[in-house]
Amino acid sequence: MSENLKKGTGELFTNVDPDKMRAFVREKNKKMLSKITTVKEAVEKFVSDGDYVAAGGFGGVRIPVAVIHEIIRQGRKNLGFSGHVSTHDCQLLSAGECFDRCDAAYIVGLEARGLSSNARRVFQSGKINVTEWSNGALSWRFKAAAMGVPFLPIRSMLGTDTFNRSAAKEMLCPFTGKKVAAVPALYPDVAIIHVHRADIYGNCQIDGIVVADDDIAKAAKKVIITTEKLVDNDEIRREPNRTVIPYWTVDAVIEVPFGSYPGNMPGLYFSDEEHLSEWLKVEKDEQLFKEFLEKNIHSCKNFSEYLEKNGGMEKMNKLIQQEHLLK
Amino acid sequence: MSENLKKGTGELFTNVDPDKMRAFVREKNKKMLSKITTVKEAVEKFVSDGDYVAAGGFGGVRIPVAVIHEIIRQGRKNLGFSGHVSTHDCQLLSAGECFDRCDAAYIVGLEARGLSSNARRVFQSGKINVTEWSNGALSWRFKAAAMGVPFLPIRSMLGTDTFNRSAAKEMLCPFTGKKVAAVPALYPDVAIIHVHRADIYGNCQIDGIVVADDDIAKAAKKVIITTEKLVDNDEIRREPNRTVIPYWTVDAVIEVPFGSYPGNMPGLYFSDEEHLSEWLKVEKDEQLFKEFLEKNIHSCKNFSEYLEKNGGMEKMNKLIQQEHLLK
Amino acid sequence: MTRYNNMELMITIAARTLEDGAIVLVGTGVPVATAMLAQMTHAPDLTILFEAGGVAPLLPTMPISVGDSRTTFKSLKATTMAEIMEFCQTGMVDYCFLGGAQIDKYGNLNSTIIGDDYKKPKTRFPGSGGANDLASLCWRTMVVTPQNDKRFVVKPDFITTPGFLEGGTSRVDAGLPKDTGPYRVITDIGVYGYHPETKEMMLLSLHPGKTIEDVKANSSFEILIPEKYDMTTEPTDEELEVLREKVDPTRVIIGRG
Amino acid sequence: MTRYNNMELMITIAARTLEDGAIVLVGTGVPVATAMLAQMTHAPDLTILFEAGGVAPLLPTMPISVGDSRTTFKSLKATTMAEIMEFCQTGMVDYCFLGGAQIDKYGNLNSTIIGDDYKKPKTRFPGSGGANDLASLCWRTMVVTPQNDKRFVVKPDFITTPGFLEGGTSRVDAGLPKDTGPYRVITDIGVYGYHPETKEMMLLSLHPGKTIEDVKANSSFEILIPEKYDMTTEPTDEELEVLREKVDPTRVIIGRG
């Protein structure tokens, strides 16, 4: 029976063997030390050309924009990345031409806002090695890694071209004899995650949707956290049921207020729909887009300057109001 | 290679096929209706002779004692149950001679307090069909069920008699070729869980250790919730990140203050160590034990009467103080 | 002149499909508008889930993202994507709503690429997102889409999301959960279901003013036309009022026409 | 008369094994006393986990259950048992502490039954609990136990929890994670490790006043005695003071002797 089992033809970009990850993890310094640094230093130290990167959040919600800007500014190339509802983050990394391979579940689009013409150009160029997955499959791949097992059985993907272009494998359940899809653990080299609250050690709490960030933090070799607010360790300990990411997985912590801008930060500020529309618009004109990127990313010394250029506190206050009035 | 793969010889007491559970779940009424009832009615309606029962909590912490007493009072027989750190709950079900089969990970003991001589007598009688597991394996069996997959691969149990007497199977990872243990999904007929807060629909929040109760609620066909405090639906919606069990899995909700007594309820009251010692002591004398059970369970019309007989509010206040002074 | 446009018609019909007490997983746009309309009319106890982690919010307005703040506004639970997908995998979720650039007669959907060279596609679309999971794991897949012969194709360039695959029993044979699959396709021309045996798309009801010719002319594959089919019941004034004034007062969705 | 009893000696020696910055998973009794002593002496940054879901609490006193309130008192995280076991499975956890009714020369442990009829055992014990998982998944398994020939057996009646199984490479061959396994056995007579190749239990250090004869007389299997072994360094006054006054002031554990 097993000779009829299908395998996806997509490339597997990362190691699947949990014993390799275990050996890495064993050597990590697990002391509860301060990991406070700057975005610039974190990217210099923890993101290298060729690394496989996973971004937390949900495309335009709770996304680590400051770190992605810095990755672009520092000119990282040949990255791999997981397109797990990758919307504005995919748009940014495409703008920086930072990657050459991608596990794609949701890329090039910005949900209801439309499609990024530049991200499409990049993905249509033939220069990107793409392996297909579903959002669920990528979530479960992170979960397998976070659980410390080499794969998880799932019941989606079967029978489709998404499966055929993935690196999943059909297998038979040892108990029911029924077919399931096995999806391999995904261990990113670096995870970049933006959270609501973190202490200096990297214990993190998140409000609203968690997406896959609990698992991504555990799955990744290195973890960079940006946080809206640095809080005292006592505050974490006051609500231990709310802690999503434990300190020992984390390598860098940076306080970046409005760090998800122009994305939404649940409970704090809404997305800047005007700015995202501008992105989609300028991408259609090569020269305009170049100038736009120069202004908003390359010429900015840091994320604060980007915020300043896009309306500063006045704009942020508007987005805060929008979030709370829910309009 | 696959002919060398081992299988545990233990009996599998429950269905593994997720399609059977899916068909059951599809027919469940998923309207958000009030599920308020009494412990007596809930047990009459949702626990039948022969059912496979899973209790939430951790043996002596956040355990559904009121429901277990009622199961004993109503004389349920031939139950199956999962001994997932089953300490005082195992002691109770053994006292009631309610079960004839058990998935055992931790049974007959009360952790540092010692072993239950009556539970041991029951398990040494030869009348109980036991299948061995580890705590992790049972947790993952509930998780497989909660995830909707027929099994999960795990990296423990291998090479031991625990595996040999389980119903797990060795298998090779389709990606690494390495051996893992596959543990089958566990779908209990009934889950009984005690929580800190629930609304009338069954949305539940838990403080402190969650153990496996998130998964058990999703894995079980029927779910009975006792709660320290009934709260308004608004209160659940104020902290959606804290909701562990969603209403649609739940069939019955009963407010039972001190419902984990004589167990500990994190943040509310400590365990009654004197009463638990008395349990261990009287079990050693058949006649005394009979009288003890008559007094504490059979002759009680409900859980309040049991609390009253064991010191009532004065005792409860003492346990509350013990919890907060942590002495 | 009709009292409603095509979008209003499609949303209204789709909303009627959702029975009270069902659990539905929606995306932004038409799906969430549909679920909100159902909730505000005949199905107050409809439970709405979002794949990013929002469970049963009290939606103040339509979300712009499947994960934005509104999807957890006064919600019952805020969680992970994996947990939402696992709710679907356990059989808890009755309906999902999907779309795509192409659909075939078995309800298979393409939202990945147009072109015959996967490595260098003519057009790259987002890919599956959650669509493949939802269509695999929820009981009933709903598609609401304008109908034309470029979208209703004989062979999609890529099957992103499973319908009935090659028809007959092929969906279950592939390992997908029993008794799941495409349920309704609601277009600007009619409402379609699937043949119980062959699983081919089949006309269920024709919209007012539309003809069998419209059905045929706007599909590249042959849609089964049974001897008996219904005429679509038009949106009521009440449905239109709720849709226009409560669900989509700024006409973000229904303004599309 | 010594300045300490056997329990105090074993706990002190075990505590020294735990280096600062390590992550350790403990049970109630000796294990948690050991971890607390280490934290209060040389290893302030030791992270303590409990299998029921408590992560790095600020332990006010010793818990009586692996899941009681103290295990999440001002903890960094309160979670599920599965998540704790998964931390172990990912390789994050350095040490676990286990015990059992029987141990063999490869460090395999029995906490399930005594007797040769599994279906009707002479004595039923709790079973694995989390022991099998922890010994499988943490890097180093510590055993702290009084030593005698009934506990140190040639063939356990049941192998609940894996040590090095049949020695040599058999542990890895069984599929258990690489480079894990029994690390130290600390008894009232000596400290034992395992032979790097054969994986047989081996004397590392002898406690003050104990002899090789004691080692041999109190084990039913042959313990390897290398040419060179250490003499155990006695507990210091400071260690004893912290243990007696801060860790276990009511002598619940150390009172056992």
Q: Do D132 and B273 touch (CB under 8 A)?
A: no
Domain count, chain B: 1
Which residues lie closer than 8 Å to A62 by C-beta, 6 or more apart? A56, A194, A195, A206, A208, A209, A211, A260, A263, A264, A265, A266
Q: Which residues of B, range 220-259, sit inside 8 Å of D by Cβ? A: none
pLDDT values of chain D reduced to their tens digit, one per residue, 257 residues:
579 999 999 999 999 999 999 999 999 899 999 999 999 999 999 999 999 999 999 998 999 999 999 999 999 999 999 999 999 999 999 999 998 999 999 999 999 999 999 999 999 999 999 999 999 999 999 999 999 999 999 999 999 999 999 999 999 999 999 999 999 999 999 999 999 999 999 999 999 999 999 999 999 999 999 999 999 999 999 999 999 999 999 999 999 88
CATH of the domain at A191: 3.40.1080.10
Give per-residue pLDDT as tens, C75-84.
999 999 999 9
Q: What is the pLDDT of residue A2?
A: 53
* E strand or H helix that includes residue A55: strand A52-55
Task: Tell me the C-alpha distance between B208 and B193, whole Å.
Answer: 14
The yes-or-no reply on C/B contact (3 CB pairs or more, < 8 Å) is yes
Q: Which of C51, C213, C222, C238 is catalytic?
A: C51
Q: List all chains that touch chain C, counting a touch as 3 or more CB pairs closer than 8 Å.
A: A, B
Cβ within 8 Å, pair D65-B125? no
Alpha-carbon distance values, B70 to A102, B65, B79, B102, D114 (Å):
56, 9, 14, 20, 34
Residue B169 to residue A154, Cβ atoms within 8 A: no
What does the longest C-alpha to C-alpha distance in chain C come to? 50
Asked if C163 and C106 count as a contact pair (C-beta separation under 8 A), the reply is yes
Q: Which residues contact C112 (CB under 8 A, 6 or more apart)?
A: A132, A161, A162, C124, C125, C126, C127, C128, C157, C158, C160
Q: Do chain A and C touch: 3 or more Cβ pairs under 8 angstroms?
A: yes
Find out whether B99 and B79 touch, Cβ atoms under 8 Å: yes
Phi, psi of A260 (to 5 degrees): -90, -5
Count of CB atoms within 10 A of residue C252's CB? 15
In this structure, are residues C46 and C22 in contact, taking their beta carbons and an 8 Å threshold?
Answer: yes
pLDDT at D107: 98
Q: How large is the C-alpha radius of gyration of chain C?
A: 18
Q: Tell me the nearest-neighbour CA distance from A84 into chain D, angstroms.
A: 22
**Nearest C-alpha neighbor of D90 from the set A187, A148, A26:** A148
**B246 with C178: Cβ contact below 8 A:** no
Could you tell me if residue C195 is inside a domain? yes
Q: Average pLDDT in the C31-41 region?
A: 97
Q: Would C70 be classed as within a structural domain? A: yes
* DSSP code per residue over C89-126: HTT---EEEE--SEE-TT--EE-SEESS-TTS-SEE--
- Partners for A (CB, 8 Å, 3+ pairs)? B, C, D
Q: For residue B167, is it within any domain?
A: no
- Running along chain A, 327 residues long, what does each successive block of 10 average in pLDDT? 82 98 96 97 98 97 98 98 96 98 97 96 97 98 98 98 98 98 98 98 98 98 98 98 98 98 98 98 97 98 97 97 81
User: Is D257 domain-assigned?
Assistant: no
Q: Are strands B129-132 and B99-104 parallel, antiparallel or unpaired?
A: parallel
Q: What angle do CA D166, A17, A42 make, to 5 degrees?
A: 130
Residue to mutate among C90, C140, C176, with most B CBs inside 10 A, is C90
Give contacts of B264 with chain D, Cβ < 8 Å: 65, 67-69
Residue of A nearest to C252 (CA): A112
Structure tokens at B261: 């007594």
Structural contact between residues C56 and C49, judged by C-beta atoms closer than 8 angstroms = yes
Residues paired with residue A115 on neighbouring β-strands, in sequence order? A109
CA dist., res. A170 & res. A158, Å (int):
8
Tokens of B289: 């034990």
**Both tokens of residue B273?**
């160590």
In terms of pTM, does the model score above 0.80? Answer: yes
A residues 131..160 contacting B (CB < 8 A): 148-155
| Residues of B with Cβ-Cβ distance to A148 under 8 angstroms | 155
Transcribe B168-218 into DSSP letters. -EEEE-TTT--EEEEEE----SEEEEEEEEE-TT--EE--S--BTHHHHHH
The closest of A39, A71, A59 to A106, measured between CA atoms, is A59
3-class SS of residue C33: helix
User: SS3 letters for D90-146?
Assistant: CCCCCEEEECCCEECCCCCEECCEECCCCCCCCEECCCCCCHHHHHHHCCEEEEECC
The single residue of D51, D83, D166, D213 carrying the catalytic annotation is: D51
| Predicted pLDDT of residue B326 | 57
C-alpha closest to that of A132 among C45, C56, D38, C132: C132
Strands B204-205 and B243-245 turn out to be: antiparallel
| pLDDT interval class at C2 (50, 70, 90) | confident
Residue A220: alpha-carbon gap to chain centroid = 11
Q: Give residue-wise pLDDT tens across range A127-152.
A: 999 999 999 999 999 999 999 999 99
Kindly state whether residue A200 falls inside one of the protein's structural domains: yes
B131, B176, B213, B243: which to substitute to probe chain A, counting the most A Cβ within 10 Å? B176
- Do the chains contact at D90 and A218, CB–CB below 8 Å? yes
Helix (H) or strand (E) holding A222: strand A222-230
Closest partner residue to D77 (CB to CB) among A22, A25, A243 is: A243
User: What is the C-alpha to C-alpha distance for residues C47 and C33, in angstroms, rounded to an integer?
Assistant: 14
A6: closest chain B residue by CA: B174
* Maximum pairwise Cα distance, chain D: 50
Query: Beta A190-198 vs A204-205: how paired, if at all?
Result: antiparallel
CA distance B177 to chain A (A): 10
Check if C213 is active-site. Answer: no
Chain D environment of A149 (Cβ under 8 Å): 89
Tally of domains in chain C: 1
Chains contacting B (3+ CB pairs below 8 angstroms): A, C, D
Chain B residues near residue C74 by CB distance under 8 angstroms: 234, 237-238, 240
Cis peptide upstream of residue B153 (ω within 30 degrees of 0): no
3-state secondary structure B237-260: HHCHHHEEECHHHCCEEEECCCCC
Classify residue A189 by its DSSP letter: S
Torsion of CA D90, D91, D94, D99, to 10 degrees: 70
Domain span at C39: 6-251
Would you tell me which residues 80-119 of chain B have a C-beta closer than 8 angstroms to some C-beta of chain D? 83, 85, 87, 104-109, 111-113, 115
The low-confidence residues of chain B, meaning pLDDT below 50, are 1
Contact (CB, 8 A) for C209 and C232: no
The CATH number for D31's domain is 3.40.1080.10
Exposure class string for D238-247: b at 16+ Cβ within 10 A, else e: ebbebbeeeb
Residue B209 sits at the chain A interface (C-beta within 8 Å): no
Does some domain include residue C129?
Answer: yes
pLDDT value of residue D2: 78
Does residue B57 belong to any structural domain of this protein?
A: yes
List the single residue in A150, A180, A184 with the smallest CB-CB distance to B149.
A180
Residues 6+ apart with CB under 8 A from A293: A72, A95
Chain D residue numbers touching A243 (CB-CB < 8 A): 55, 76-78
pLDDT of residue B302: 96
**Separation in Å, CA of D155 to nearest CA in chain B:** 12
The minimal CB distance from D127 to the residues B61, B106, B266 is found for B106
How close C68 gets to chain A, by Cα (Å)?
6
Tell me the chain D residues in contact with residue B212 when contact means C-beta distances shorter than 8 Å.
80-82
Alpha helices in A52-134 (DSSP H): 65-73, 88-95, 117-124
Q: In terms of residue numbers, what domain contains A61?
A: 18-135+187-325
Q: Which two tokens stand for residue D56?
A: 């790095």
